[in-house]
Amino acid sequence: MTTLQVTVWRGDESGALQRYEVPRFESQTVLDVVTAIQRDIDATLAYRFSCRVGMCGSCAMTVNGVARWTCRTHVAKVAVDNRLELKPLANLPVIRDLVTDMREFFDKWARARGRLTPTRTRDDDFERIAPTAPGREAANAGIECIGCGVCYSSCDVVAWRPDYLGPAALNRAWTLVNDARDGAQGERLRAVAGDAGCHACHTHLSCTERCPKGISPTAGIAGLKRAVARAAWKGEL
Ligand code: SF4
Ligand code: SF4
Ligand code: FES
Protein backbone atom coordinates (compact mmCIF):
# COMPACT_ATOMS: atom_id res chain seq x y z
CA MET A 1 0.00 0.00 0.00
CA THR A 2 1.27 3.50 -0.84
CA THR A 3 1.63 5.82 2.12
CA LEU A 4 1.72 9.56 2.49
CA GLN A 5 4.33 11.27 4.65
CA VAL A 6 2.39 14.01 6.46
CA THR A 7 3.80 16.64 8.80
CA VAL A 8 1.18 18.40 10.92
CA TRP A 9 1.42 21.45 13.17
CA ARG A 10 0.85 20.46 16.80
CA GLY A 11 0.39 22.86 19.70
CA ASP A 12 -0.19 26.61 19.83
CA GLU A 13 1.88 29.44 18.25
CA SER A 14 5.04 27.94 19.71
CA GLY A 15 4.25 24.39 18.60
CA ALA A 16 6.13 22.26 16.09
CA LEU A 17 5.57 19.93 13.14
CA GLN A 18 4.98 16.27 13.88
CA ARG A 19 5.33 13.48 11.30
CA TYR A 20 2.69 10.83 10.51
CA GLU A 21 2.42 8.07 7.93
CA VAL A 22 -1.06 7.78 6.40
CA PRO A 23 -2.36 5.20 3.87
CA ARG A 24 -2.94 6.80 0.47
CA PHE A 25 -6.15 6.16 -1.47
CA GLU A 26 -7.59 7.19 -4.78
CA SER A 27 -9.70 10.39 -4.70
CA GLN A 28 -8.53 11.13 -1.15
CA THR A 29 -8.95 14.71 0.03
CA VAL A 30 -6.64 16.56 2.41
CA LEU A 31 -9.49 16.58 4.95
CA ASP A 32 -9.67 12.76 4.62
CA VAL A 33 -5.96 12.62 5.55
CA VAL A 34 -6.44 14.78 8.65
CA THR A 35 -9.47 12.71 9.67
CA ALA A 36 -7.48 9.46 9.23
CA ILE A 37 -4.76 10.79 11.55
CA GLN A 38 -7.30 11.87 14.17
CA ARG A 39 -9.33 8.64 14.03
CA ASP A 40 -6.62 6.02 13.58
CA ILE A 41 -3.34 7.45 14.89
CA ASP A 42 -3.73 10.32 17.35
CA ALA A 43 -7.16 11.22 18.75
CA THR A 44 -5.80 14.40 20.36
CA LEU A 45 -5.32 16.17 17.00
CA ALA A 46 -7.56 19.28 16.85
CA TYR A 47 -9.02 20.46 13.53
CA ARG A 48 -12.25 21.95 12.29
CA PHE A 49 -14.73 20.88 9.61
CA SER A 50 -18.46 20.55 9.18
CA CYS A 51 -20.09 20.08 5.77
CA ARG A 52 -17.32 18.27 3.81
CA VAL A 53 -18.85 19.60 0.58
CA GLY A 54 -17.47 23.13 0.24
CA MET A 55 -20.33 25.01 1.86
CA CYS A 56 -19.49 25.85 5.47
CA GLY A 57 -15.97 27.31 5.10
CA SER A 58 -14.65 25.77 8.30
CA CYS A 59 -12.00 23.34 7.00
CA ALA A 60 -9.41 25.79 5.62
CA MET A 61 -5.74 25.14 6.46
CA THR A 62 -2.32 25.82 5.02
CA VAL A 63 -1.40 22.92 2.75
CA ASN A 64 2.21 22.79 1.54
CA GLY A 65 2.46 26.53 2.17
CA VAL A 66 -0.82 27.57 0.48
CA ALA A 67 -4.16 28.32 2.16
CA ARG A 68 -6.88 25.99 0.85
CA TRP A 69 -10.27 24.51 1.69
CA THR A 70 -9.30 20.96 2.52
CA CYS A 71 -12.57 19.09 1.94
CA ARG A 72 -12.44 19.95 -1.78
CA THR A 73 -8.67 19.69 -2.23
CA HIS A 74 -7.54 16.34 -3.56
CA VAL A 75 -4.25 14.96 -2.32
CA ALA A 76 -3.26 14.15 -5.91
CA LYS A 77 -3.38 17.85 -6.73
CA VAL A 78 -1.17 19.09 -3.89
CA ALA A 79 1.10 16.28 -2.61
CA VAL A 80 4.74 16.66 -3.63
CA ASP A 81 6.64 13.31 -3.70
CA ASN A 82 3.88 11.81 -1.52
CA ARG A 83 4.44 14.51 1.11
CA LEU A 84 2.03 16.97 2.71
CA GLU A 85 2.73 19.70 5.23
CA LEU A 86 -0.36 20.89 7.11
CA LYS A 87 -0.42 24.05 9.21
CA PRO A 88 -3.18 26.31 10.56
CA LEU A 89 -4.25 29.34 8.50
CA ALA A 90 -1.73 32.20 8.60
CA ASN A 91 -2.61 35.71 9.88
CA LEU A 92 -4.86 34.33 12.63
CA PRO A 93 -4.03 33.32 16.23
CA VAL A 94 -3.58 29.57 16.67
CA ILE A 95 -5.77 27.98 19.33
CA ARG A 96 -4.36 24.47 18.97
CA ASP A 97 -2.97 22.31 16.16
CA LEU A 98 -4.92 23.16 12.95
CA VAL A 99 -7.56 25.33 14.67
CA THR A 100 -7.33 29.11 14.46
CA ASP A 101 -9.25 31.76 16.36
CA MET A 102 -11.57 33.35 13.75
CA ARG A 103 -12.89 36.09 16.04
CA GLU A 104 -10.86 38.97 14.58
CA PHE A 105 -11.76 37.81 11.05
CA PHE A 106 -15.49 38.06 11.76
CA ASP A 107 -15.13 41.16 13.97
CA LYS A 108 -13.79 42.88 10.87
CA TRP A 109 -16.95 41.96 8.93
CA ALA A 110 -18.85 43.83 11.67
CA ARG A 111 -16.39 46.78 11.49
CA ALA A 112 -16.97 46.96 7.71
CA ARG A 113 -20.75 47.11 8.36
CA GLY A 114 -21.14 43.72 6.72
CA ARG A 115 -24.81 43.25 7.57
CA LEU A 116 -27.93 44.39 5.76
CA THR A 117 -29.69 47.42 7.24
CA PRO A 118 -33.22 47.01 5.87
CA THR A 119 -35.28 49.98 4.77
CA ARG A 120 -38.57 48.05 4.73
CA THR A 121 -40.53 46.42 7.51
CA ARG A 122 -42.30 43.05 7.55
CA ASP A 123 -45.51 44.89 6.65
CA ASP A 124 -44.08 46.24 3.40
CA ASP A 125 -44.10 44.41 0.09
CA PHE A 126 -40.89 42.73 -1.13
CA GLU A 127 -38.48 44.94 -3.02
CA ARG A 128 -38.27 43.73 -6.61
CA ILE A 129 -34.76 43.85 -8.10
CA ALA A 130 -34.23 42.77 -11.69
CA PRO A 131 -31.59 40.03 -12.11
CA THR A 132 -29.98 42.20 -14.78
CA ALA A 133 -29.78 45.36 -12.63
CA PRO A 134 -26.08 46.46 -12.53
CA GLY A 135 -26.05 46.52 -8.71
CA ARG A 136 -27.54 43.04 -8.56
CA GLU A 137 -24.91 41.70 -10.97
CA ALA A 138 -22.09 43.33 -8.97
CA ALA A 139 -23.45 41.88 -5.71
CA ASN A 140 -23.87 38.43 -7.29
CA ALA A 141 -20.16 38.31 -8.11
CA GLY A 142 -19.26 38.34 -4.42
CA ILE A 143 -22.28 36.90 -2.65
CA GLU A 144 -21.20 33.22 -2.56
CA CYS A 145 -18.48 33.84 0.05
CA ILE A 146 -18.42 31.02 2.63
CA GLY A 147 -16.26 32.87 5.17
CA CYS A 148 -13.42 30.35 4.93
CA GLY A 149 -10.62 32.86 5.60
CA VAL A 150 -8.41 31.61 2.73
CA CYS A 151 -8.17 35.11 1.22
CA TYR A 152 -7.47 36.70 4.61
CA SER A 153 -4.74 34.20 5.35
CA SER A 154 -3.17 34.81 1.92
CA CYS A 155 -3.11 38.61 2.13
CA ASP A 156 0.31 40.21 2.74
CA VAL A 157 -1.28 43.48 3.86
CA VAL A 158 -3.12 41.70 6.70
CA ALA A 159 0.26 40.27 7.75
CA TRP A 160 1.88 43.73 7.71
CA ARG A 161 -0.89 45.66 9.42
CA PRO A 162 -3.25 43.58 11.57
CA ASP A 163 -5.90 46.34 11.71
CA TYR A 164 -6.52 46.07 7.91
CA LEU A 165 -10.12 44.97 7.35
CA GLY A 166 -8.97 42.41 4.79
CA PRO A 167 -10.41 40.98 1.57
CA ALA A 168 -13.40 39.02 2.93
CA ALA A 169 -14.89 41.85 5.02
CA LEU A 170 -14.35 44.33 2.19
CA ASN A 171 -15.90 41.93 -0.34
CA ARG A 172 -18.93 41.67 1.94
CA ALA A 173 -19.13 45.46 2.22
CA TRP A 174 -19.02 45.69 -1.59
CA THR A 175 -21.98 43.29 -2.00
CA LEU A 176 -23.99 45.52 0.37
CA VAL A 177 -22.91 48.76 -1.31
CA ASN A 178 -24.62 47.26 -4.37
CA ASP A 179 -27.73 46.16 -2.48
CA ALA A 180 -30.62 48.49 -3.32
CA ARG A 181 -32.50 47.34 -0.18
CA ASP A 182 -29.84 48.62 2.23
CA GLY A 183 -30.21 51.87 4.16
CA ALA A 184 -26.74 52.34 5.68
CA GLN A 185 -24.66 53.23 2.63
CA GLY A 186 -23.02 56.39 4.04
CA GLU A 187 -22.15 54.64 7.28
CA ARG A 188 -20.65 51.68 5.42
CA LEU A 189 -18.58 53.82 3.07
CA ARG A 190 -17.20 55.74 6.06
CA ALA A 191 -16.35 52.40 7.72
CA VAL A 192 -14.31 51.18 4.75
CA ALA A 193 -12.78 54.55 3.79
CA GLY A 194 -10.30 54.82 6.66
CA ASP A 195 -6.61 53.96 6.71
CA ALA A 196 -7.23 50.31 7.50
CA GLY A 197 -9.95 50.01 4.84
CA CYS A 198 -10.04 49.64 1.07
CA HIS A 199 -7.20 52.09 0.40
CA ALA A 200 -4.73 49.85 2.25
CA CYS A 201 -5.13 47.12 -0.42
CA HIS A 202 -2.04 46.92 -2.62
CA THR A 203 -3.81 44.90 -5.32
CA HIS A 204 -1.49 41.90 -4.89
CA LEU A 205 -4.31 39.61 -6.06
CA SER A 206 -3.40 36.69 -3.76
CA CYS A 207 -6.96 36.74 -2.39
CA THR A 208 -8.44 36.48 -5.86
CA GLU A 209 -6.02 33.76 -6.99
CA ARG A 210 -6.79 31.58 -3.97
CA CYS A 211 -10.49 32.09 -3.23
CA PRO A 212 -12.01 28.62 -3.63
CA LYS A 213 -15.36 30.13 -4.65
CA GLY A 214 -13.91 32.07 -7.56
CA ILE A 215 -14.66 35.44 -5.98
CA SER A 216 -12.48 38.45 -6.73
CA PRO A 217 -12.19 40.51 -3.53
CA THR A 218 -9.66 42.63 -5.43
CA ALA A 219 -12.35 43.73 -7.89
CA GLY A 220 -14.77 44.48 -5.03
CA ILE A 221 -12.13 46.53 -3.22
CA ALA A 222 -11.47 48.50 -6.42
CA GLY A 223 -15.23 49.16 -6.58
CA LEU A 224 -15.20 50.37 -2.98
CA LYS A 225 -12.34 52.77 -3.76
CA ARG A 226 -14.41 54.24 -6.61
CA ALA A 227 -17.55 54.47 -4.45
CA VAL A 228 -15.61 56.18 -1.62
CA ALA A 229 -14.06 58.66 -4.09
CA ARG A 230 -17.49 59.48 -5.57
CA ALA A 231 -19.02 60.00 -2.12
CA ALA A 232 -16.07 62.19 -1.02
CA TRP A 233 -16.36 64.27 -4.19
CA LYS A 234 -20.08 64.83 -3.48
CA GLY A 235 -19.26 65.76 0.14
CA GLU A 236 -21.20 62.74 1.48
CA LEU A 237 -18.50 61.21 3.68
S1 SF4 B 1 -5.62 42.30 -3.51
FE2 SF4 B 1 -5.68 43.51 -1.62
S3 SF4 B 1 -6.96 42.32 -0.21
FE4 SF4 B 1 -6.36 40.92 -1.90
S5 SF4 B 1 -4.51 39.88 -1.13
FE6 SF4 B 1 -3.85 41.69 -2.27
S7 SF4 B 1 -3.64 43.35 -0.75
FE8 SF4 B 1 -4.85 41.69 0.20
S1 SF4 C 1 -13.86 35.67 -0.39
FE2 SF4 C 1 -13.38 33.54 -0.96
S3 SF4 C 1 -11.49 33.05 0.15
FE4 SF4 C 1 -12.37 34.87 1.11
S5 SF4 C 1 -13.58 34.09 2.84
FE6 SF4 C 1 -14.96 34.32 1.06
S7 SF4 C 1 -14.96 32.32 0.06
FE8 SF4 C 1 -13.20 32.33 1.44
S1 FES D 1 -15.91 21.17 5.55
FE2 FES D 1 -17.31 22.73 4.94
S3 FES D 1 -16.21 23.82 3.38
FE4 FES D 1 -14.88 22.16 3.90
pLDDT tens string 212-232: 999 999 999 999 999 999 999
Nearest bound ligand to CA 35? 3
Give the span between the Cα atoms of 96 and 94, in whole angstroms.
6
CA 158 to CA 30: how far, in whole Å? 26
Q: What is the 2 CA–ligand 3 centroid distance (Å)?
A: 26
Average pLDDT over residues 141-153: 98
Ligand 3 mean position, distance from CA 168 (Å): 17
Coil/strand/helix, residue 191: helix
Residues with CB under 6 A from ligand 2: 145-151, 167-168, 171, 211, 213, 215, 217
Residues 14-67 pLDDT 10s: 999 999 999 999 999 999 999 999 999 999 999 999 999 999 999 999 999 999
> For the residues 117-132, what does the mean pLDDT come to?
94
Strands (E), 11-55: 16-23
Q: Whose CA is nearest to atom 5 of ligand 1?
A: 155
What does the pLDDT read at residue 25? 95
**Mean pLDDT, residues 67-91 taken together:** 98
CB of 69 within 6 A of ligand 3: the answer is yes
Q: What is the arithmetic mean of pLDDT over 64-86?
A: 97
Protein residue with least CA distance to atom 3, ligand 3: 54
The predicted pLDDT at position 181 comes to: 95
How many Cα atoms are found within 13 Å in the side-chain-facing hemisphere of 141?
A: 19
Nearest ligand 2 atom to the CA of 149 is 5
If one residue of 213, 216, 218, 224 were mutated to test the ligand 2 pocket, choosing by the most ligand atoms within 8 A of its CB, it would be 213
Report yes or no: 24 and 3 within 8 Å, Cβ to Cβ: yes
Residue pair 9/97 in contact (Cβ under 8 Å)? The answer is yes
Cα(154) to centroid(ligand 1), Å = 8
Q: Identify the bridge partners of residue 99 per DSSP, sorted by sequence position.
A: 96
Residue whose C-alpha is closest to residue 102's, from 52, 167, 147? 147
Of 57, 233, 59, 69, the C-alpha closest to 145 is 57
Atom of ligand 1 nearest to the CA of 154: 5
Residue 204, pLDDT > 90, answer: no
Atom of ligand 1 nearest to the CA of 217: 4
pTM of the entire predicted model: 0.96
If residue 96 lies in a helix (H) or strand (E), which one and from where to where?
A: strand 94-96
Q: Interhelix angle for 217-233 vs 185-193, to 10°?
A: 110
Asked if pLDDT for residue 146 goes beyond 90, the answer is yes
From atom 5 of ligand 2, which residue's Cα is the shortest distance away?
147
pLDDT at residue 194 is higher than 90: no
Contact at 8 Å (CB) between 151 and 225? no
